[in-house]
A and B are shown apart, each in its own frame.
Chain A
């Protein structure tokens, strides 16, 4: 089971803004390119996703009622890639969609307005299904908390599971992932950035210092 927790490198200091995003900042705000070093390259990301796909099939005993929902932005291409692998393993299509959580964030009043991203729920819906949420980085857990709220307004899944490419620790909420590509113990001074071919032209996970 890949979902074993790493101990956070340090506990979050008090007074840190709750604005911490669960996703790596895609605009690389505070990301110092000089110190960025890759911790995962394309082949390892590929293998991690294949492993997660097999784990989903194993835990769900087939992927009969699985619906994959990616969290924008980088969770969406990851969900699509997982869906392709599940289709290959299972020999049939697995519904895949995207779930935007902007409207459910708890830090809306602390940041400038952000534009909502696309939510698209597959036509089969989520009622009575096993929904696997997919995101790139699991950090504070606040994004996933928002995603659970968003999901609750759309329907009532049989169960919800979470798959992430990287778990960097520092949880602020009692949330854990069911499938993890790589556990990456980090310090809060560090930033984790996921690059995906669909958005960035290459696959990699970079770790660097806050600039």
Chain B
């Protein structure tokens, strides 16, 4: 394992499977009366959030606490960052406080990379979402959820809806995943395309042409503009949130038009294969990209994804922090 988790593209298939397998063991802790391991006792994890994200921050916080680490939540709002402090000075402060790991969310793509490779801090850096770039732990929890549901049966096949499988040791070879919606603004997509491809899955992006980034043709995935054509060939459909706060240009005519062409409703779900699952990274716009009926159906893994997020983040924190501090022999690159 590397010392930092900046991009899903950095993970080899062995790394990815190690994290997912470790997460499988971590998930058992959640079902115990004592949901705690002594593993990271005495280590300090800082959640450095320059952008609000209660969901991701809480997930990382819970994961670190379940491993007995001390957690400091550092949000930009109300801190010296809002008074003009730079990333460097914030990092030096955290280093002086003895942070062993920094979980960073930043609106600028590349901020976690800068933090990891500038030498400002000696601890591990975990990217919790940077700009429109990457969100690797989200991709890992999505892959974990897919592996459990689609490769979780003892024979490596899909488990019936509502049951929890165990895909330990397996990859996602041959599984077909459709990712639908605002690819342009989504950091989840980039991480997912890298990771799912590494794990052997075939990814198809479905979006209006205006919501696809320039250069998407060089990504290791297919692109389609027609959801109805892709659905029957998909083992998993991942709906992305329409980020209303980023819809500052005419990306699509009206919300109703978007919903009609790219929204997931019961009628469309009926076109999916029997075993296929419906995913959403949350938070959802019910009625826009996904109907309430679909979101609450047995095929939907939306709540499961949140639970799995804690297990995956525990695995990532353990694998980055649990061993000896190899900083002396490892330059961190």
Contacts and interface: CB of A to CB of B under 8 A. Distances in A.
Interface residues of A, number: 19
Given A109-B325, A110-B324, A154-B32, A104 B18 contact: no
B327 interface: no
A155 B22 CA distance: 22
A114 interface: yes
A149 interface: yes
Contacts of A113: 1, 318-320, 322-323
The SS class assigned to the B binding surface is: loop
Contacts of B32: 153-154
B28 interface: yes
A148 interface: no
Nearest to B43: A109
Q: Which of A104, A108, A111 has the most CB of B within 10 A?
A: A108
Interface stretch (B34-42, B271-279, B289-297): B34-42
Nearest to B319: A113
A103 B38 contact: yes
Nearest to B26: A116
Nearest to A107: B324
Contacts of B33: 155
Contacts of A155: 33
Interface in B1-35: 1, 18, 21-22, 25-26, 28, 32-34
A103 B39 contact: yes
Contacts of A153: 32, 34, 36-37
B326 interface: yes
A112 B321 CA distance: 10
A116 B38 contact: no
Contacts of A118: 25, 168
Given A116-B25, A119-B28, A111 B324 contact: yes
Given A100-B25, A109-B325, A154-B32, A115 B18 contact: yes
A94 to B, nearest CB: 22
Nearest to A106: B38
B212 to A, nearest CB: 38
The secondary structure that dominates the A interface is loop
A108 B322 contact: yes
A68 B321 CA distance: 32
Contact of B38 (A111, A119, A149): A149
Given A103-B37, A104-B38, A149-B38, A119 B25 contact: yes
Q: Which of A104, A111, A113, A117 has the most CB of B within 10 A?
A: A113
A155 B31 CA distance: 12
Interface in B249-296: none
Contacts of B319: 113
Given A103-B37, A153-B34, A116 B22 contact: yes
A128 to B, nearest CB: 14
Interface string A141-174: 0000000010001110000000000000000000
Nearest to A119: B28
Interface in B288-333: 318-320, 322-326
Contact of B21 (A111, A114, A115, A119): A115
A153 B68 CA distance: 13
B312 to A, nearest CB: 14
Contacts of A111: 323-324
Q: Which 6 A-B pairs have the closest CB atoms?
A: A113-B323, A116-B25, A103-B37, A103-B39, A153-B34, A112-B323
Given A113-B1, A117-B25, A153-B37, 11 more contacts: A103-B38, A104-B39, A108-B323, A109-B323, A109-B325, A110-B324, A116-B22, A119-B25, A119-B28, A149-B38, A153-B36
14 contacts: A109-B323, A109-B324, A109-B325, A110-B324, A112-B324, A112-B326, A113-B320, A113-B323, A115-B22, A116-B22, A116-B318, A119-B25, A153-B32, A153-B34
Interface of B: 1, 18, 21-22, 25-26, 28, 32-34, 36-39, 168, 318-320, 322-326
